[in-house]
Amino acid sequence: MKTKFAMALIASAIALPLQAAGQFSSYVDGKGQISLPKDFRSNFVHLGSWAVADQKSASHGFHDVYAERKAVEHYRKTGKFPDGATLVKEIRKLETGPLTTGDPVHWGSNPAVWFVMVKDSKGRFPNNPLWEDGWGWAMYKADAPMKNVATSYKADCQACHIPAAQTDRVFIQGYPTLKGN
């Protein structure tokens, strides 16, 4: 009897951080590991798009950015992302060619990489190198969409987001949906 009780107590202690993290974000586990939302194209709101046409740029491709509807509604009211907000940037390969609408025309084709940011205004994961500047950071490549290949915010994410420091590390100028447009 004591063994069953002890096992149940241990199991509930292990589950508590996961439940608490689940209340914070369903895409973050108790250790701060971020997963790529599988339903972002159908259940998130499209914030905006842009294309980086420079083939030498590490950001070359067609960028689409999505966020949860509740995060968009909160941002429109307050000008800030709520705690737990999840943003997904999908970068697709950039294709170019002549179409009846113009020549050349650029469009996004196959996904190449996904970036995921989760807002953390409380600093829940202070010893995790992927949680800094008020966000959790993750990167997934098309050849392994279940594996976060980012190793640290400073090495993999910070340099690109420094120019957006004044807007909470998010390039909001490319997201007309946040303005209600």
pLDDT in tens, 3-48: 544 444 333 333 334 334 447 899 999 999 999 999 999 999 999 9
pTM: 0.84
Q: Which CATH number fits domain 2-179: 3.40.50.880, 3.10.180.10, 3.50.70.20, 3.40.1010.10?
A: 3.50.70.20
Mean pLDDT across 127-139? 97
Residue with tokens 């120019």: 163
Q: Residue 104: enclosing H or E segment and its boundaries?
A: strand 102-119
Strands (E), 13-101: 45-52, 61-67, 86-99
For CA atoms 151, 154, 160, 164, the dihedral sign is: positive
